[in-house]
Amino acid sequence: MTNDPLGAPRPTSAPEIGPVLAEVFAVLESRKAEMPEASYTAKLLLGPQDKLLKKIGEEASEVIIAARDRDPKQLRYEIGDLLYHLMVVMVREGLTLDDLAAEMAERRRK
């Protein structure tokens, strides 16, 4: 275990983030293709865009609160929620993880 900047223990054997995000993204894309009736993701993809965007705003606010409260466990949870909803909007709008990687690489070069 190591400590993160907020002092919380962090497993040293955490999975690589890239493959995890790719796996989640693949599930989101399959939900878009299949649109299973009981799927929360499918509801977000089919529903009004404003509802999804409002949800992203709510999740961002929850990240801010968890960070302000210096609650690492809650912060990790809320960041997970925010990333999930951001990836849903990416899938909905036709963006890929490669698009995001290209954008981030471009910013790194500046």
Give residue 104's pLDDT band: very low, low, confident or very high (50, 70, 90).
very high
Query: What are the pLDDT digits (tens) for 69-79?
Result: 999 999 999 99
Mean pLDDT of 48-61: 98
Task: Say whether pTM exceeds 0.95.
Answer: no
For residue 23, give both structure tokens. Answer: 């796996």
Task: Identify the CATH number of the domain defined by range 2-109.
Answer: 1.10.287.1080
Phi and psi for 2 in degrees, rounded to 5? -125, 170
Quote the pLDDT of residue 19: 95
- The domain spans of the chain are 2-109
Angle at 89 between CA 83 and CA 90, to 5 degrees: 85
